[in-house]
Amino acid sequence: MSGFLGAKEVLTTDRVKEILRKKEYSFLEEKVNLLEVREDSLLLKISFLIEHKKRMISIEEKEPIVVPFKDFKVEDWGDGVRKIADIQ
């Protein structure tokens, strides 16, 4: 029985991927947490919160990601007005 408002959408991981791909959400929050700084890498946890048809959907990694520090671009922005130099 679907009621007078219609059937409620059943979400699957494939449907959530489609919602993200087609940008069918009205709200998106992206969050990256720095969990640990290792000798040559960073340990990160990434999560997203989206609103789709008045439903909040949380997407987060099961396990943290290890990203080598060399994969990041590091810049010196001094007082924050303009970039001064790249940091090697």
10-residue block means of pLDDT along the chain (88 residues)?
67 95 95 96 96 94 94 89 85
E strands present in the chain: 27-37, 41-52, 55-60, 65-68, 75-76, 85-86
Cβ count near 50 (within 10 Å)? 20
pLDDT of residue 6: 63
42 inside domain: yes
7 inside domain: no
- Domain of 29, in residue numbers: 13-86
- Rounded to 5°, angle at Cα 7 from 52 and 60: 30
3 inside domain: no
66 by DSSP, 3-state: which? Answer: strand
pLDDT of residue 23: 95
pLDDT of residue 30: 96
